[in-house]
Amino acid sequence: GAGVSQTPSNKVTEKGKYVELRCDPISGHTALYWYRQSLGQGPEFLIYFQGTGAADDSGLPNDRFFAVRPEGSVSTLKIQRTERGDSAVYLCASSLMAGRNTGELFFGEGSRLTVL
């Protein structure tokens, strides 16, 4: 595709439910990032993949959050037992190489998660 694609664009769920957010990066981009952006805040780092492996997952807030990238392309962010505090826009970004080599992240439009 022409850019990073994220689905769904909007997700409304109830507290306690499980959700999956999908990211389809730019073809050929080996690095993939997940960020969370709450209202009035900047993007907050969650996890970074280089290829299939999670190179840095230090931003995941707790063990309810998990992400995979099994074939080194599409990634899924999984949130178990959702809480109202998980409501945010979840941004995915991809990069041709690891961060400082290019300095340019290509962002998707985000998935807006609302937990009622």
Partner 1 sequence: AQRVTQPEKLLSVFKGAPVELKCNYSYSGSPELFWYVQYSRQRLQLLLRHISRESIKGFTADLNKGETSFHLKKPFAQEEDSAMYYCALILDNYGQNFVFGPGTRLSVLP
Residue numbers at the binding site for partner 1 (CB under 8 A): 3-4, 31, 33, 35, 40-45, 48, 50, 55-56, 58-59, 91, 93, 98-101, 103-109
**Residue (12 or 98) nearer to partner 1, CB:** 98
- Within 8 A by CB and 6+ apart from 116, the residues are 12, 13, 14, 15, 84
Q: How far is the CB of 93 from partner 1 (least distance, A)?
A: 8
**How far is the C-alpha of 106 from the C-alpha of 83, rounded, in Å?**
29
Q: How far is the CB of 59 from partner 1 (least distance, A)?
A: 8
**Virtual torsion, Cα 3, 8, 12, 18, nearest 10 deg:** -110
Q: How far is the CB of 114 from partner 1 (least distance, A)?
A: 19
**Residue (41 or 80) nearer to partner 1, CB:** 41
State the burial class of residue 44 (Cβ atoms within 10 Å of its Cβ: 0-12, 13-18, 19+): middle
Q: How far is the CB of 31 from partner 1 (least distance, A)?
A: 8
